[in-house]
Amino acid sequence: MPLSPRRVTRNARLLPALALVLATTALTGCSALSRDDTNQGGSTDGTSAVDAYGGNPFAARGQTLVGSPRLPAAARQATADGRDDDAARLERLAEVPTGIWLTPEKYPAGEVGPYVSAVVAGTEGRTVPVFVVYGFPDRDCTGGFSAGGLDADSYLPWVDEIAAAAGSGSATVLEPDALASTDSCGGEDRLDLLASAVDSLDAAGVTTYVDAGHSHWVDAQRTAELLERVGVEDVRGFSTNVANYQPLDAEQQWAARVSDLVGGAHYVIDTSRDGDPVDGTVGQPVDDWCNPPDRSLGETPGFVDDGPALDALLWVKPPAESDGTCHGGPPAGDVWIDRALALATAAGW
């Protein structure tokens, strides 16, 4: 069932964004590290919404929803068990768009292009699929729970295949953590490869947000230097807080500073799990990135139309998926129903 359009201002709660659910069986598989939704729009004077909102893709069309079948199945089971409140929470979670994660382990070369093409075709141009490209060499080098990725020679052809299939009607979040981990995991060769991926997506017209880490990791000045090194000025901008838990106010302040340092690049913030914690430490930096207890869901996705460089709040990380085998969690990317319910309950759902 379609969701209604969501507009966000920096000091206001979200209003109800139109979503398009891709209901085909081929597009609803449960991926190892993945998923997503959309909104139609336009101005009354004949100007397209994307032009009216300074090129913000989420103002013109909402985000594409590619759902996990695990959530509706769990909701049905909860209903059968007489847990109606849990069923309602899971049903609501299943209707919120998240990122569509592309890993070479699930979508190798030769398969990733057809999959992306199928998602794009399924939108019929009415929604924006947000693909999360996650196959960088030595992936998750600072965490390890999502370790893997491609070798350097295989990586760029894989990205080229994604770029060609995604085209100008799609958005990407490029390589969560890869840029921010540069100083810990590699130098110029790593940046050169990431810059080539930026070039590939840019050449295909894909709206690209280079992942920049988050406010509690690399300082704004160094982050800006790294973003400039990989060519952020050639694409839409950058993403922050992907698969992390930092408070929204801190992310907005840090991202605004980074944006200023790189000439006003636009950005999106992952708010999937950055809601107020139940332990009372509201607004405090979060040190534990792997299934930390006492967290809650954050603001649901929506676009920003009040003039800042912030394009949208997104759920890039599907909140029902584990960060890894920590705090009792299953492997990274596996759906963890109990945690999904804990996050939703803590958020007051």
Residue 44 CB burial class (10 angstroms; 0-12, 13-18, ≥19): exposed
294 catalytically annotated: no
Q: What is the bridge-based pairing of β-strands 310-314 and 302-304?
A: antiparallel
**For residue 319, which phi and psi values (nearest 5 degrees)?**
-65, -15
Distance between CA atoms of 183 and 226, rounded to whole angstroms? 10
Looking at 36, 37, 86, 140, which residue is catalytic? 140
140 is catalytic: yes
**Contact status, residue 191 vs residue 219, Cβ threshold 8 Å:** no
Two tokens at 235? 């694409």
Q: Among the options 37, 274, 305, 323, which is catalytic? A: 323
Question: With contact defined as beta carbons under 8 Å apart, do 240 and 230 qualify?
Answer: no
Residue with tokens 């492997």: 331
Active site residue 249: no
Q: Are strands 171-174 and 130-133 parallel, antiparallel or unpaired?
A: parallel
The neighbour count for residue 269, using CB atoms within 10 Å, is 27
Catalytic residue among 37, 86, 177, 270: 177
Catalytically active residues are 140, 177, 323
